[in-house]
Amino acid sequence: MNKDWIRSTCRDLQLYYNPKVGNKLRMDTSTNALGANPAGQRELMECTKLNVGQYPNTYGDNLRDELAKLYGMSSNNFVVGNGSDEALDIIMKTLVEPGETVLTAHPAYVLHSFFVKINAGRTVTVDLDDDFQLDVDKINSTPGKLVLLCTPNNPTANTFRKDDLKAVIEGADRPVVVDEAYGEYTGDSFLPLVNKYDNLIVTRTFSKAYGLAGMRIGYMAAGLEMAEALQKVKIPYSLNVIGERVAIAALRDREFLDRSVRVVNEERPFLSKGLSDLGFQVFPSEANYILFRPDLPSDVLTAKLSEKGVLVRDFGKVRRLENCIRTTIGTREMNTVLLDKMREVLRECR
């Protein structure tokens, strides 16, 4: 095939993380350790009666109405779609001209730069400091069309200081995207500020604390003018009729959400201590995952855990995360399995 047929910005892409999962215990994707959202799962069964011969509502209006109720805002503040990844893609398509730069932090969510690249933008990264906090002055003095940051940050697991994020939002006349994929675990959000700051866009997801990763549902909120501009770019019908129904059921089930957050808060100290007792460096976490640095090669530990049936995510080749691994915070049972398997690997390797 002639390589010139492929758009130049898409020629050197790598395929995304795609492990052989089988029956392995997944602690590599920072999803909900309690499993699928029960209310969502029940609604899914009801959906067998739906007439799927018709298109869904063009813009997922029922879900937007439900989100508006939850946040006490207008439905027109919200854009819903196929995972918050779609929201990030829409943002790039709407705001970034080919060749323009997007500022992201380093290290941060791998797909941030992917969405910039596939939309013909260029990523410029500003390094986080030694505590993985924002370098506000550097960000505000670096040119770029928009700023994209996630808090809690993935994979470092810390949140950014609220005042720092505010200083970035207020610091330059350009859009700032705050990716809150793990926001439910912090109990805090920039989302209610979108009517105050017309340059703020906040993305959120049903994939993590809501326990619906397989359904692919996400949303973003912005001021009314910005939200309308984003809505016009979104592929109509990208949220399917089942996804919308299931998301609404999950939004109404606050008990599962609260329990999911509680379990993470209860298990975080147990898993952190377990990892540091093994002699690993453990970074502070405010999310449902932990970043740690083992004292054996991260790729060896990851591969051996996989052989023993547990998947974790190796970030060891990423600059600033040398030899680091990220694991989801599981239930006590999952965390115990993970730590036991790690002990086995250490006995074999040390």
Give me the residues that bind ligand PLP (CB under 6 A), please.
30, 83-85, 109, 150, 154, 179, 181, 205, 207, 213, 218
Q: How far is the CB of 83 from ligand PLP (least distance, A)?
A: 3
Nearer to ligand PLP, 136 or 150 (CB): 150
Classify residue 161 as exposed, middle or buried by CB count within 10 Å of its CB (0-12, 13-18, 19+).
middle
Cis peptide bond prior to 155, omega within 30° of 0: yes
Query: Could you tell me the smallest distance in angstroms from the CB atom of residue 94 to ligand PLP?
Result: 17
Nearer to ligand PLP, 261 or 300 (CB): 261
Q: How far apart are CA 337 and CA 314, in angstroms?
A: 18
DSSP summary character for residue 184 = G
Structure tokens at 280: 């690993």
Measured from the CB atom, the residue of 207 and 327 that comes closer to ligand PLP is 207
Query: Closest CB to ligand PLP among 215 and 345?
Result: 215
Nearer to ligand PLP, 88 or 172 (CB): 88
Nearer CB in complex with ligand PLP: 59/109:
109
Spatial separation of the C-alpha atoms in residues 22 and 122, rounded to whole Å: 36
Closest residue to bound ligand PLP by CB:
83
Scanning the structure block, which residue is given the tokens 């940050």?
A: 153
Question: Any idea which residue has 């009666």 for tokens?
Answer: 49
CA separation for the pair 174, 74 (Å, rounded): 23
Shortest CB 153 distance to ligand PLP, Å: 8
* Cβ distance to ligand PLP smaller for residue 59 or 219: 219
Write down the least CB distance from residue 134 to ligand PLP, Å.
15
CA 3/CA 74 separation, integer angstroms = 47
- Residue 86 Cβ vs ligand PLP, minimum distance, rounded to whole Å: 7
Query: In the structure encoding, which two tokens stand for residue 25, read together?
Result: 């215990």
User: Shortest approach of ligand PLP to residue 204 CB, angstroms?
Assistant: 8
Whole-number Å distance between alpha carbons of 157 and 291: 7
d(CA 157, CA 182): 9
Compute the least distance from the CB of residue 53 to ligand PLP, in Å: 27
- 6 three-class SS: coil
